[in-house]
Amino acid sequence: MMSSITESSPIVASPSASWESRATSWGRFAPIGLATVAAAVAANTLVSFIGNAFVAYDPQFLPLANVSGEIVFTLPAALGAVLVYAALLRFARHPARTFAIISAVVFVAATIPDFTYIPTVPGVTAGQTAILVLMHVAATCVIVGMLTTLTRPQVREGVSGK
């Protein structure tokens, strides 16, 4: 089943191939990218608010001091992820799989400071560290999930996936 989709879909890894040769167009990708960024920020804000109900946040710890921390730390990372996925859609043979691998590596790299540096910050508790890790999980799940799911090639009229 997958091979017939691959054979009937004009997905080319060549840099000379036009973006229009893919079923996902820039016009369709842009709103998905923006929605992904907004959803990642919203997810982290939600995790932070729920976490605050269970863990007392130290106001001197800026990432969790107020909502601006979630926005400042999530927004550039989410925008970067959208741009990376856009490039992968254009140039990679298997963009979703490649993006999942890159995202896993970035997730591990992003959590290293949570376990090495963050515990040394005065006033930070294990609970606050756990909330930060949960925020990384939430953002990663939202970003990878939305980009790889919502940008799948659309079935064109007259083209069967069977």
pLDDT, position 56: 86
Is 156 among the domain residues?
no
Tell me what the mean pLDDT of segment 147-157 comes to: 76
Q: What CA–CA distances, in Å, run from 73 to 69, 99, 129, 155?
A: 6, 20, 15, 37
Residue 11 lies in a domain: no
The pLDDT score that the predictor gives to residue 4 is 39
Quick check: 47 and 131 in contact, CB under 8 A? yes
> What does the alpha-carbon distance between residue 58 and residue 48 come to, in Å, rounded to a whole number?
13
Q: Is residue 19 in a domain? A: no
The mean pLDDT value for 11-36 works out to 66
Domain count of the chain?
1
The answer, yes or no, to whether residue 153 has pLDDT greater than 50, is yes
pLDDT at 66: 82
Could you tell me if residue 110 is inside a domain? yes
Q: Is residue 88 part of a domain?
A: yes
Mean pLDDT of the chain: 83
Within a domain: 157: no
Q: At residue 11, does pLDDT exceed 50? A: no
Q: What is the mean pLDDT of residues 100-108?
A: 97
Tokens of 75: 């927004």
Does this model's pTM top 0.75? My answer is yes
Q: Are 44 and 139 in contact (CB under 8 A)?
A: yes
Q: Is residue 83 part of a domain?
A: yes
pLDDT band at 15 (very low <50, low <70, confident <90, very high): very low
Q: Is residue 141 part of a domain?
A: yes
Residue-wise DSSP of 37-105: HHHHHHHHHHHHHHHHHHSPPPTT-HHHHSHHHHHHHHHHHHHHHHHHHHHHHHH-SSHHHHHHHHHHH
Give 75-88 pLDDT, tens digit per residue.
999 999 999 999 99
% residues pLDDT > 90 (the chain):
60
Residue 136 scores a pLDDT above 60 = yes
Question: Count of CB atoms within 10 A of residue 82's CB?
Answer: 22
Q: 59 pLDDT band (50/70/90 cuts)?
A: confident
Give the structural domain span for 144: 25-150
